[in-house]
């Protein structure tokens, strides 16, 4: 009996013996990579807080977290405290973390030694399980835009990843352009490799030697849990394949170095706007279906679209004023966009200029000249748009009458925020109380009297009355300026349902989609323009507003 009892006691003693151990998530990793390092203390407690221990030169270890775990081992409950560290390789080579003495409640316990191998950057198979960084172009100039590309390839099961952009002096990540992420799988060496790419728009902001610290990726991999850390259910069903941990590792790209210069002062144009990059500048008449001069009449409006496209953001850029004889010009608000396509920045700023011819005959809208600095050539160049040729019909006298203006159209462009069909404050359509409609207060009673037997007739009459007053012509103010705003609102609300857009979004170029009433809508639109630009741009000419209202009433009647 005594031998059996001795064996049982020794088994219990070994089951509850305090111990410490250390292990790395992986014993082999790459230069610049961070992996997890786990110190496990079983059936005892540590004195003096999380253990700190020295590591060989070329490695760093930082404490991350602490947790407690209870496991059923050999039908006995075992308690473990797990201390997790982040181990980072600063250089390649073979390293040994020596046995670590840990002060515990059971005395000083010692871990086993741990051998690690760190591969040189680029030594892994085809760059697998490494993070690389590169610039899309050779950067040399302040203001130049490039794309910083981070690439991570792995043959392991990557659950999730969080990018950490580089930060430093002399460059900035452009906020106006969204970074681009892509994830795909390729075959390398007969195995499947997952690849994650990040493209960041980067602009250089100061001259001199600029170092770009490598961006980083916080990667989370799915790993099978070690037997020591499995719970009771996991030990009972070890082959289900459902017991996995998520292991976090940090990967960093190498630092890049480049020399940046200021664009030269010699040869710098006085009207240079600061644009640095490769650009194109084009212009054309919107809606022109054939080549050659576009035919218009005196007083009509022609919209000229100007597009500035390049590899650097162009938001905030203003075109030089358009100067010439025989026409007036009105600028619309530009629309700027910027994206990354195939690893390159593609930025566009679209301008629209309304041209109103003032005399008949051939008319040339001159080209636009815009100086930029070309980083590839290392010099300033001037972009030239194509001139626009018009063939203007009618007469100057008809233009004077058609404009309904004694002073002509405004000289020079209007404000940048104005559009060809502006949104004006709606005039008040509530008339002053005169007692004229006091009988409406008796309407509920009248409805009660005629409800029986006369309801259908009354509803039909009310419907017709509502239809005739739906657009509010009768409620428009008498002041010409306020009446013009009201007429514009009526026009917007009349065409918006047919266009499938909101009234505030209606623009002259949309009217072509109105089908059989497009021509009449175009006439009303032109009258709106003339009424607005009459009296030197102040608008509100009585004659112009009257002509507009007459045409608009006819147009609304046709829509019904």
User: What is the tens place of the pLDDT at every residue in 434-462?
Assistant: 444 444 444 444 444 444 444 443 333 33
Cβ neighbours for 482, distance < 8 A, ≥ 6 positions apart: 427, 476
Q: Is the dihedral of CA 491, 493, 494, 497 positive or negative?
A: positive
With cut-offs at 50, 70 and 90, classify the pLDDT of residue 538: very low
With cut-offs at 50, 70 and 90, classify the pLDDT of residue 120: confident
Residue 483 pLDDT > 90? no
Give me the mean pLDDT over the 78-89 stretch. 86
CB 288 within 8 A of CB 279: no
| 375 within some domain | no
| 371 within some domain | no
Residues 140, 97, single domain; the answer is no
Residues 452, 529, single domain; the answer is yes
Local structure of 9: helix, strand or coil: helix
Residues 304, 230, single domain; the answer is no
pLDDT of residue 535: 46
Q: Report the range of poorest mean pLDDT among 62-66, 189-193, 197-201, 415-419.
A: 415-419
Residues 321, 210, single domain; the answer is no
Q: Which of 199-213, 286-300, 307-321 has the highest mean pLDDT?
A: 199-213
Residues 88, 21, single domain; the answer is yes
CB 420 within 8 A of CB 304: no
The domain total for the chain is 4
CB 504 within 8 A of CB 492: yes
| 269 within some domain | no
pLDDT of residue 190: 62
| 219 within some domain | yes
Q: Report the range of poorest mean pLDDT among 95-109, 196-210, 322-336.
A: 322-336
Residues 237, 163, single domain; the answer is yes
With cut-offs at 50, 70 and 90, classify the pLDDT of residue 259: very high
Domain end: 77, 94, 119, which one?
A: 119
- Distance CA(384)–CA(369), nearest Å, equals 5
| 9 within some domain | no
Residue 180 pLDDT > 50? yes
Q: C-alpha dihedral over 499, 500, 504, 507, to 10 degrees?
A: -30
Residues 240, 171, single domain; the answer is yes
Distance of CA 330 to the CA centre of its chain: 30
Residues 531, 546, single domain; the answer is yes
Residues 296, 315, single domain; the answer is yes
Residues 291, 254, single domain; the answer is no
Q: Which of 30-44, 47-61, 281-295, 349-363 has the highest mean pLDDT?
A: 349-363
With cut-offs at 50, 70 and 90, classify the pLDDT of residue 398: very low
Q: Are strands 171-173 and 191-204 parallel, antiparallel or unpaired?
A: antiparallel
With cut-offs at 50, 70 and 90, classify the pLDDT of residue 126: low
Give me the mean pLDDT over the 518-540 stretch. 71
Domain end: 402, 428, 459, which one?
A: 402
With cut-offs at 50, 70 and 90, classify the pLDDT of residue 270: very high
Distance of CA 295 to the CA centre of its chain: 40
Residue 548 pLDDT > 70? yes
CB 309 within 8 A of CB 347: yes
Residue 412 pLDDT > 50? no
Q: What is the mean pLDDT of the chain?
A: 77
Q: What is the CATH number of the domain that holds 334?
A: 2.60.40
Q: Among the residues of 151-274, which ranges form H helices?
A: 232-236
Q: Are strands 107-110 and 101-104 parallel, antiparallel or unpaired?
A: antiparallel
User: What is the tens place of the pLDDT at every residue in 10-63?
Assistant: 444 444 578 898 988 778 777 777 778 889 998 898 988 888 878 888 898 888
Q: Looking at per-residue confidence, does 125 or 334 come out higher?
A: 334
pLDDT of residue 410: 36
Q: Which of 9-23, 177-191, 241-255, 293-307 has the highest mean pLDDT?
A: 293-307
Domain end: 77, 92, 119, which one?
A: 119
Helix (H) or strand (E) holding 11: helix 2-15
Cβ burial 518-551 (10 Å sphere, 16+ → b, else e): eebbeebbbbbbbbbbbbebebbbeebbebbbeb
With cut-offs at 50, 70 and 90, classify the pLDDT of residue 150: very high
Residues 137, 241, single domain; the answer is yes
- Distance CA(51)–CA(539), nearest Å, equals 81
Domain with 246, as residue range(s), is 125-260
| 98 within some domain | yes
CB 135 within 8 A of CB 148: yes
**Nearest Cα residue to 34 out of 66, 64, 60:** 60
| 164 within some domain | yes
Q: Are strands 59-73 and 171-173 parallel, antiparallel or unpaired?
A: unpaired
- Distance CA(146)–CA(221), nearest Å, equals 31
User: What is the tens place of the pLDDT at every residue in 218-243?
Assistant: 998 887 655 544 454 444 455 544 44
pLDDT of residue 289: 63
pLDDT of residue 384: 93
152 pairs with which residues across the strands?
A: 131, 196
| 412 within some domain | no
Residues 238, 296, single domain; the answer is no
pLDDT of residue 522: 83
Residue 202 pLDDT > 90? yes
pLDDT of residue 315: 78
Cβ neighbours for 478, distance < 8 A, ≥ 6 positions apart: none
pLDDT of residue 501: 83
């Amino acid at each position: 009996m005594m031998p059996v009892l001795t064996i049982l006691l020794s088994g219990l003693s070994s089951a509850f013996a305090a111990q410490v151990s250390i292990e790395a998530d992986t014993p082999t990793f790459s230069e610049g990579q961070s992996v997890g390092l786990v110190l496990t203390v079983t059936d005892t407690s540590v004195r003096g807080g999380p253990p700190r221990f020295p590591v060989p030169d070329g490695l760093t270890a930082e404490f991350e977290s602490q947790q407690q775990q209870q496991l059923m081992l050999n039908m006995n409950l075992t308690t473990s405290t797990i201390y997790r560290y982040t181990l980072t390789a600063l250089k390649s080579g073979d390293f040994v973390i020596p046995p670590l003495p840990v002060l515990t409640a059971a005395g000083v316990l010692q871990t086993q030694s741990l051998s690690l191998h760190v591969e040189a950057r680029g030594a892994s198979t085809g760059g697998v399980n490494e993070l690389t960084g590169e610039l899309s172009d050779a950067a040399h100039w302040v203001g130049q835009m490039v794309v910083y590309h981070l690439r991570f390839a792995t043959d392991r099961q990557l659950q999730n990843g969080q990018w950490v952009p580089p930060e430093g002096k002399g460059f900035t990540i452009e906020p106006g352009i969204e970074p681009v992420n892509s994830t795909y799988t390729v075959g390398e060496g007969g195995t499947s490799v997952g690849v994650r790419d990040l493209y960041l728009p980067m602009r250089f902001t100061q001259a001199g030697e600029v170092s770009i610290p490598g961006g980083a990726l916080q990667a989370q991999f799915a790993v099978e849990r070690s037997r020591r850390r499995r719970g009771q259910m996991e030990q009972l069903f070890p082959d289900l394949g459902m017991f996995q941990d998520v292991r976090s590792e940090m990967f960093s790209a190498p630092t890049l170095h480049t020399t940046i210069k200021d664009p030269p002062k010699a040869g710098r144009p006085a009207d240079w706007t600061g644009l640095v990059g490769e650009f194109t500048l084009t212009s054309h008449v919107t809606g022109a279906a054939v080549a050659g001069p576009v035919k218009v009449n005196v007083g009509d409006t022609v919209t000229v679209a100007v597009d500035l496209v390049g590899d650097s953001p162009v938001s905030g850029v203003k075109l030089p004023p358009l100067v010439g004889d025989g026409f007036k010009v009105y600028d619309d608000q530009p629309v700027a966009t910027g994206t990354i396509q195939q690893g390159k920045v593609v930025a566009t700023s679209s301008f629209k200029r309304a041209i109103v011819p003032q005399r008949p005959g051939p008319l040339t809208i001159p080209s636009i000249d815009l100086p930029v600095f070309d980083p590839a050539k290392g010099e300033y160049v001037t972009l030239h748009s194509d001139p626009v040729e018009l063939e203007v019909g009618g007469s100057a006298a008809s233009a004077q009458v058609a404009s309904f203006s004694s002073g002509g159209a405004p000289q020079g462009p209007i404000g940048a925020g104005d559009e060809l069909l502006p949104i004006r404050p709606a005039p008040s359509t509530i008339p002053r109380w005169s007692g004229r409609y006091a009988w409406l207060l008796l309407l509920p009673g009248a409805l009660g009297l005629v409800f029986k037997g006369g309801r259908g007739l009354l509803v039909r009459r009310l419907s017709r009355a509502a239809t005739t007053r739906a657009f509010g012509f009768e409620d428009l103010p008498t002041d010409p300026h306020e009446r013009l705003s009201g007429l514009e609102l009526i026009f917007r609300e009349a065409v918006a349902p047919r266009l499938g857009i909101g009234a505030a979004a209606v623009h002259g170029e949309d009217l072509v989609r109105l089908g059989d009433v497009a021509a009449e809508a175009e006439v009303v639109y032109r009258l709106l323009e003339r009424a607005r630009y009459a009296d030197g741009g102040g608008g509100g000419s009585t004659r112009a507003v009257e002509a507009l209202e007459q045409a608009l009433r006819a147009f609304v009647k046709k829509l019904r």
